[in-house]
Structure 1
Amino acid sequence: MASKVVITGAGGGFGKLTVKSLLDAGHQVVGTMRAVNGRNKEKAAELTAMGAQIVEMDVTQTTSVEAGIKAASEQLGGLDVVINNAGVGVIGMQEHFTPEDWQKVFEVNVFGVQRVVRAAAPMMRAQQSGLLIYVSSLLGRMCMPFYGPYNASKFALEALAENYRIELSSFGVENAIVEPGGFETEFFANLIQPSDQGRAESYGEFMEAPAQMGQSFGAALAANQEQDPQKVADAITSLIDMPRGKKPFRTTVDYMGMGDQVVKLNEVQEQAMSGVFGAFGIGNLLNVGSQAPADSN
């Protein structure tokens, strides 16, 4: 059945591929991005030519998000799915990132998602249905060096999604996390670097490690044809097409070996959540469509 879908960060990376996959699958799609009539004008036109509708939205601005979600739902004639795809990455020594650097990352990767969900959730609760998808990362489950603020933001995103899963389940709203590994997209061309390089000398030769790791990982990606970003778009589309109540909470997408280990972590996490919630007598909150509150609006 066709769904009415909004996806943030639609202009690049996984966003553009996901828009196309969703349209090919018969879904109605609104893609959001900044500067629709500016630097992203060509991207917006390309998505429009595919059949998507475009809405201006800056996830770092609350008024922009509220207006964008409202406009998207009006254009679609409703709202079934929201894909929180917009995100930024980093590369560098964690100590060298200033608090202001951290704030830039969290504004998009965490606070931006909270803005989007706050704008969309009331509609979904009112209709007793909906799906919220969060594009996280394997680095939201396992830390790797030189991605410090990004790691932390994705760990925070995972916790944010966990809580929405629990607090929205009885209103019929599903939540799902997609955890990609590293893929060759324009995401890597826009990584934020630390603002403070004044401490670099005291790190000595170890300062070369971030660049060396980046080069090594880039070579590994180029040599692995299985690590195709289209597979992330396919995974998101498959989630949407799954029956209500049958969607996995976490889906990893990786063909470099790291994903296999994160799957094991996820399985243990799910068992732990089930055990703890069961002990407190609230295990039903892990299942969408559980007993609804008396006043669900």
Structure 2
Amino acid sequence: MEHLKEILENVRESAPLIHNITNYVTVNDCANILLACGASPIMADDGKEVEEITAICNGLVINIGTLNERTVEAMIKAGKKANELNHPVILDPVGAGASALRTETTKRLLQEIKFTAIRGNISEIMTVYKGSGSTKGVDADSADRVTENNIKETLRFAKALSEETGAIIAITGAIDIVADAERAYIIRNGHPMMSKITGTGCMLTAIMGAFLAANSDLLLKAAAASVCAMGICGELAYLKITETKGGTASLKMYLIDSMSELTGDTLANRASITEVTELE
């Protein structure tokens, strides 16, 4: 894919400030991965300040991982302010389908906020698409895996959901799909061990916010580039722990290290990405 190097360099040069209303479990990791990719984080979820914070930022990430009624209202306020300012807004519907609160909140957010991108695992995105679903906690249901056998069907529903919502759809897992209503990318970067540490999806959503904020004229490609970047850093982190005989905690450390050291050339050279414009 063209522009991968340029997209990362734009993030480094512009250092976008990203407002995160995010998951308490992974908030520190999200802040650190944003710093590592060249952006700056703000974590603010009180309704009394979210509009002000959003107004000084370049993008907004909404993650429902540790959901409560107070933060739902803050998400709505921040999202509407970001829409008013034409800032990119990214939704991570963590665990949508696992409870009525998560599913109904996801529906409300989609009704009241215009999202630039929606990123989740296959079960979460299917819940967004169908309005109901099931997950294994906050993980994808094993029955919903994206495989070589069902990839065309998954591409079709990703494009349909993009057309319905107006948002870029990013489905991440063993095989990643990033699509709008017309085009799609299939990405095969990453390593299975990334699923053994919490927060890789949340971190990806955070950096997607930065990539979109820094590349307003290349939104679909920027979303795909962020997915490639995270997968490549996972690959590099795994290579590092095999050298050092490290475990999962080391993997997370090296993942963030790899993001801080990632160059545009490495991103362009290691990206395993295929564009799909038409489906048979």
* TM bucket normalised to smaller: 0.3 to 0.5
From the CA coordinates, give the structure whose radius of gyration is larger: 1
What's the TM-score, normalizing by structure 2?
Answer: 0.39
